Structure 1
């Protein structure tokens, strides 16, 4: 095999290793392909160009690979792919209802026995104890049972 083919094997092997370490860490396949190309280039260098040239190719490849790993594992480069942001969002806890008993609202849909009620600016799915409440009627929260807001129509 001529020296140009061996040089291209080494060049592409180093390029794949650089892509694995610096740009897309954790994919493994790209790194294995790069390592395979690098090993093939060194092996062909020993076989076709002699042991002195093979030693030079091996040493040079080790130095460049070590430099790539060093550059890829620097904290600045790791921070680009590591999760560094903290999520401070919260989930609404149904054990602490935001519509306490006694709150009044207006039925947006007919409650048969379930439907939608508007409490100030908040729309909530509610249920009655079985009675029918027409749309537009004023309702009051009786209780919170498990995940359900139980209401009754306000007469008056």
Structure 2
């Protein structure tokens, strides 16, 4: 039988510890990368193989069993819904886009051009700023405008003299 040095014990212990740390990183901190998990599994397998080779079958069995239990606990803790919710997107976006098929600016509504309409620009209707367009004519800033209608999601206006 070989005499074991502290270096043999240290090598096996470091392989097992770093293998478990890499698996912890894979399951809890950066799930889905696979590379980190494979490296951790490889380090654990090497540590267990060295323990069987250098420390004998009984010690190898103990380290294999304890590593298996540690991995099982790690996977259980990492895959609980509470742990997954920390890294998963769970927010729901309830915002909605203004639907021009149901316009809040009706034909005939008047407003004031905030920018020059050449032919598109910004108009202030009451307290609402809207992007509008004309039928091709240019309207200077500050001019009163009237809504002619809604065409293809655009508010069409004309200048009021």
Q: TM-score, normalised by structure 2?
A: 0.86
* Structure-2 change in CA distance of 1:33 and 1:109 (3 Å): same
Q: Give the aligned partner of residue 8 of structure 1.
A: 14
Q: Give the aligned partner of residue 105 of structure 2.
A: 99
Separation (CA, whole Å) in 1 of partners of 2:51 and 2:61:
9
Following TM superposition, by how much is the alpha carbon of 1:144 offset from its aligned partner in structure 2, in angstroms? 0.8
Separation (CA, whole Å) in 2 of partners of 1:109 and 1:83:
41
Following TM superposition, by how much is the alpha carbon of 1:23 offset from its aligned partner in structure 2, in angstroms? 2.5
What do residues 102-128 of structure 1 show as CA deviations (whole Å, max 9, x unaligned)? 110012233333332211122222222
Q: Give the aligned partner of residue 23 of structure 2.
A: 17
What do residues 37-60 of structure 1 show as CA deviations (whole Å, max 9, x unaligned)? 000001111112222221111111
What do residues 61-97 of structure 1 show as CA deviations (whole Å, max 9, x unaligned)? 1111111112212222122122322221111222222
Matched, 1:114 2:120: yes
Q: CA RMSD in A?
A: 1.8
Q: Give the aligned partner of residue 34 of structure 2.
A: 28
Q: Structure 2 regions of 5+ residues with no counterpart? A: 1-6
Give the total of aligned pairs. 155
Q: TM-score, normalised by structure 1?
A: 0.88
Separation (CA, whole Å) in 2 of partners of 1:144 and 1:33:
61
* Structure-2 change in CA distance of 1:114 and 1:88 (3 Å): closer
Matched, 1:136 2:158: no
Following TM superposition, by how much is the alpha carbon of 1:99 offset from its aligned partner in structure 2, in angstroms? 1.4
Q: Structure 1 regions of 5+ residues with no counterpart? A: none
Separation (CA, whole Å) in 2 of partners of 1:54 and 1:82:
38
The 8 Å contact of residues 111 and 145 in structure 2, kept in 1 or not, is answered as: yes
Q: Secondary structure at the match of 1:105?
A: strand
* Structure-2 change in CA distance of 1:69 and 1:115 (3 Å): closer
Separation (CA, whole Å) in 2 of partners of 1:109 and 1:75:
52
Q: Give the aligned partner of residue 78 of structure 2.
A: 72
